[in-house]
Structure 1
Amino acid sequence: MSRQDEVAHPLVAAVYDWVVPERFLFARHRQYLASGLSGRVLDVGAGTGATFPHLARNGDGCEVHAIEPDPYMRKRASQKAADAGLEVHLRGDRAESLPYVDDAFDAVLSSLVFCTIGDPDAALAEVARVLRPGGELRFLEHVRADGWRASGQELLNPVWNRLAGGCNLERETVERFVCHPDLEVLEIERLEAGIFPAEPIVRGRLRRREGSCVSE
């Protein structure tokens, strides 16, 4: 990775846990992502590690791996894992090029991350590749709104993108997930949550189709 490709947002990392209403807005939905998991789990774009305490509740049932390319975020995530007593294999790789073999994971989690990934289609292809057939992608993402809110997002996106560490307000992430040929929908729920302009919030579960082959 060249220096130009490095992801580093020290200010965003420093204030993230203070400005994001984790306890009141997202915590119960992160628990939904982590609930009942077992086997090998990958957290794609772990951020400051907000999902780690919820994964820790699964005890020794999970072998947790995570990627986070921002070194400032990754440092905070590592501390959060330690505070939760969770062993995490945490790496600085990008979602567009996951350093794992095919069919490596029983579940992949994405929480408020596909808004920041540079090439979301490549990242989703990688997620499908490393999921075993029958494995789940569980997600919590904010997406493009409708009506006047969508117009507001278009207006604000250039400034928001710079201030919020590369976050994009206009991603149609759910449509991208649903249309992937190797993933089938288990459930999708639009939540009465979120704060404009980073709303609506959608969560759900998809499963890699049995018999699908996503390797090149």
Structure 2
Amino acid sequence: MCDSERVTDDTPDAPDATPDATPDGRAGRLRRRWDREASGYDRAFAAAEGRMFPDVRRRLCALARGDVLEVAVGTGLNLPHYPPAVTGGHLVGVEWSPGMLDVARQRADGLGVDVDLRLGDAQRLDLPDSSVDTAVCTFSMCAIADERAALAEMVRVLRPGGRLLLADHVTSTFWPLRALQAVADLVSVPWAGEHFGRRPMRWVAARADAGELVVEQHERTRAGVIEWVAAAVPA
């Protein structure tokens, strides 16, 4: 269900890792899988999106302002939903899968938008501190090897007053479905690196309790499986 696979190395703190290098082992296998599936990904994802979260991208991306970073941009499904001021030269999209990135570039060309799409690692963003006004990630934290590192990186690059925008499928509030998600994790995590039992909002809420973020909007639907949040770094 995730926009694409975003794992890098089996050892997150491996030195001198570069996002455009070909990883070995499990990470290499996962990247090759998503490269192969990139051309047909949008068709496969459309049915689930139309049924489960038809309006989430539009509502979330409409909140983006200023210089925007999208982490795990995938095939660029969010590109049509950003305000014109953002897609007029103020959007950077980072993606770990070259195949997915190629599709995103084709979409950007078709839309006629000015977007900087580049290979990159969500867990180690190649951007300076306090360099963007909005950081976005949709339906991808489920597949990042260390999602807490990726979230911390997104907050690191936000300017004071900047906004963090997240949406994902998360662990359900309905216990029978939550049990099914736990079973699914037994297969999906080792095979595809995708987690059904994660919930990034927990990390956001902890940072809000610590005074590092302020939750502005929050919504959870579909038996709690779909969740999105807008949070701001205090000015």
Q: Under a length normalisation based on structure 2, what TM-score does the superposition of the two structures give?
A: 0.79
| CA distances 1:128-187 after superposition (whole Å, capped 9, x unpaired) | 110011110111111111311111111112323466x42211112111122124222111
Q: 1:115 to 1:43 in 2, by over 3 A?
A: same
- How far apart are residue 60 of structure 1 and its match? 5.9
Name 1:196's counterpart in structure 2: none
Unaligned runs of 5+ in 2: 1-16
Distance across 2 between alignment mates of 1:148 and 1:48: 32
Name 1:135's counterpart in structure 2: 162
Name 1:74's counterpart in structure 2: 101
Name 1:96's counterpart in structure 2: 123
Cα RMSD for the two superposed structures? 2.2
Worse-matched range after superposition: 92-101 or 170-179 = 170-179
1:10 pairs, out of 28, 35, 39, with 35
Q: 1:13 to 1:151 in 2, by over 3 A?
A: same
Percent identity, aligned pairs only, is 29
Kindly indicate whether the alpha-carbon contact (under 8 Å) linking 2:201 and 2:229 is maintained by their aligned counterparts in 1: no
Worse-matched range after superposition: 91-100 or 4-13 = 4-13
- How far apart are residue 103 of structure 1 and its match? 0.7
Worse-matched range after superposition: 146-155 or 15-24 = 15-24
Kindly indicate whether the alpha-carbon contact (under 8 Å) linking 2:87 and 2:114 is maintained by their aligned counterparts in 1: no
Q: 1:172 to 1:156 in 2, by over 3 A?
A: same
Kindly indicate whether the alpha-carbon contact (under 8 Å) linking 1:39 and 1:61 is maintained by their aligned counterparts in 2: no
- SS of 1:97's partner is coil
Name 2:4's counterpart in structure 1: none
Kindly indicate whether the alpha-carbon contact (under 8 Å) linking 1:53 and 1:80 is maintained by their aligned counterparts in 2: no
Kindly indicate whether the alpha-carbon contact (under 8 Å) linking 1:143 and 1:174 is maintained by their aligned counterparts in 2: no
Name 2:71's counterpart in structure 1: 44
Distance across 1 between alignment mates of 2:88 and 2:233: 21
Kindly indicate whether the alpha-carbon contact (under 8 Å) linking 2:68 and 2:86 is maintained by their aligned counterparts in 1: no
Of the two structures, which has the highest relative contact order with CA contacts closer than 8 Å and spacing of 6 or more? 2
